[in-house]
């Protein structure tokens, strides 16, 4: 197994969020790890002063790395920490899936994750479960927010045009004259609160 590890070509990915930070320490740590494992450093990819919240299209270093992975230029990608890859578990698992589709492994120095090992592969499977949980929680929060907005009479989507619809304007004005609230009128007629305010002011 050690002999197999010595043949691995590793790409190092380093990233810092601001221009005041340096990627040098991350790179030195990863180069030392590669030497300990007997890996050959075949490329270093850097994103300097770029937040992990940015997508691949705004992270040129990550984009170049993943294009090189697609060409099978490496056997393994090494990063200093999980948050260097992405800010969320979903981002991380998405990147991992791209790597695994090309049979490229991942080494995360700070977390001690190495998918070239059986325990590392098991950890990857576990992260996939938690990423799906994160997606489900996000969907639940979004749906709860939409339901709350509807309950409060907030118009979702593109507001309907009111000014040109004389019949609707008359109904809105009648409801307002009867003492109905602006929010309730907006919900009843499927228009924005601003539209009700404009035609009843």
Active-site positions read: 17
Round the CA-based radius of gyration of the chain to a whole number and report it: 26
Closest CA to 66 of 13, 137, 134, 107: 13
Q: Are strands 105-108 and 9-16 parallel, antiparallel or unpaired?
A: unpaired
Query: What are residue 120's DSSP bridge partners?
Result: none
CB 174 within 8 A of CB 161: no
CB 20 within 8 A of CB 94: no
List, in order, residues 6 or more apart from 99 with CB less than 8 Å away: 69, 77, 105, 106
CB 86 within 8 A of CB 95: yes
CB 105 within 8 A of CB 76: yes
At residue 109's C-alpha, the angle toward residues 107 and 111, to 5°, is 95
CB 170 within 8 A of CB 152: no
């Amino acid at each position: 197994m050690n002999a197999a590890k010595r043949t691995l070509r590793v790409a190092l990915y380093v990233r810092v969020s601001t221009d005041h930070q340096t990627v040098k320490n991350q790179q030195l740590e990863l180069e030392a790890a590669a030497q300990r494992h007997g890996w050959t450093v075949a490329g270093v990819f850097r994103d300097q002063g770029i937040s992990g919240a940015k997508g691949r299209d705004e992270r040129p270093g990550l984009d170049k790395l993943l294009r090189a992975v697609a060409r099978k230029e490496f056997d393994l990608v090494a990063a200093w920490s999980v948050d260097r890859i992405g800010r969320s578990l979903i981002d991380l698992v998405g990147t991992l899936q791209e790597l695994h589709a090309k049979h490229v492994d991942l080494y995360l120095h700070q977390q001690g994750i190495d998918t070239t090992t059986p325990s590392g592969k098991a950890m990857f499977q576990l992260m996939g479960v938690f990423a799906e949980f994160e997606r489900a929680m996000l969907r639940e929060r979004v749906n709860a927010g939409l339901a709350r907005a509807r309950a409060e009479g907030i118009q979702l989507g593109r507001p309907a045009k009111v000014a040109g619809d004389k019949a609707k304007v008359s109904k809105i004005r009648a409801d307002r004259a009867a003492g109905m609230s602006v929010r309730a009128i907006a919900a009843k007629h499927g228009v924005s609160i601003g539209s009700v305010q404009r035609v009843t002011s």
